[in-house]
Structure 1
């Protein structure tokens, strides 16, 4: 009765034991069904925290395959971003461009990963073979391949925006504004220091 998605044992027993006692004509079966279901006791739990935790538990039980794939994907993206961020934090470019270059390069690294991954979910023959010929179908939700393809596309958008915005709005203005001594390590990469933003 409270749309929990399950029925308690005592409610099931009550339904099964009371139904034969009712005389039912063919047209009245729907009405009888409503009458019996109205007699069901609602769940005893009134604590909203417990109800919320129950909903979370059932959500995880229903979607555990999707959840672990999403956690794996997010973990790889975060790991790649952090790897590039730390790598550029220790380079000479950081002295000129600061955290902007770290964010731009981290976004680019996730972008590369997602661009390499985006076609895998739509390779129908590969997905069919993996589902039918291997045991991976038990732990990998192959039937959600198009949804995962869309999720990867959103990751590409986020990585691309991070990369482009960090370069255009932060890196290039800092290169232009840097003094000669600070800019000197950048000469092999960018040549002489540009005077205008439009040089890039």
Structure 2
């Protein structure tokens, strides 16, 4: 009977290990490991929004992300920083990311390049940024990305945005952490 329990335990443990073994044998999974930079910018109605993101993909299937939202309105600049944690996996050329937690923190408010001590105004602006970003990302949500090309320098992929439009993006591999790109 003890031998039967041992065999059953071995079979169950082997089945549990299969997904991680499959991940490690996926060439896309191995190429994703490391640090990636994503930068985007858009301007509308004299408001410029820059988004600077650094993602760290770890072999255990975890991904840490730091993002700075820079909002420029005339001579006023507001910075809010989001820190997020994801689980990620690969199936062929499809990548899946599931948001585990996210926290947006007010960073700074500047007018004419001088720091302004107005926590209420800074919080209000960061709360509105959080409201916009939270509409498309919530805890437990899984997003899917289809890798087009992936090498040691860049990752080009496609995904479907919240409006149903297919979007193509390219991220760059970097060595520096978020602090290097964070604008003060």
Considering Cα pairs closer than 8 Å and 6+ residues apart, tell me whether 1 or 2 has the greater RCO: 1
Report the TM-score, using the length of structure 1 for normalisation: 0.25
Asked which structure has the greater CA Rg, the reply is 1
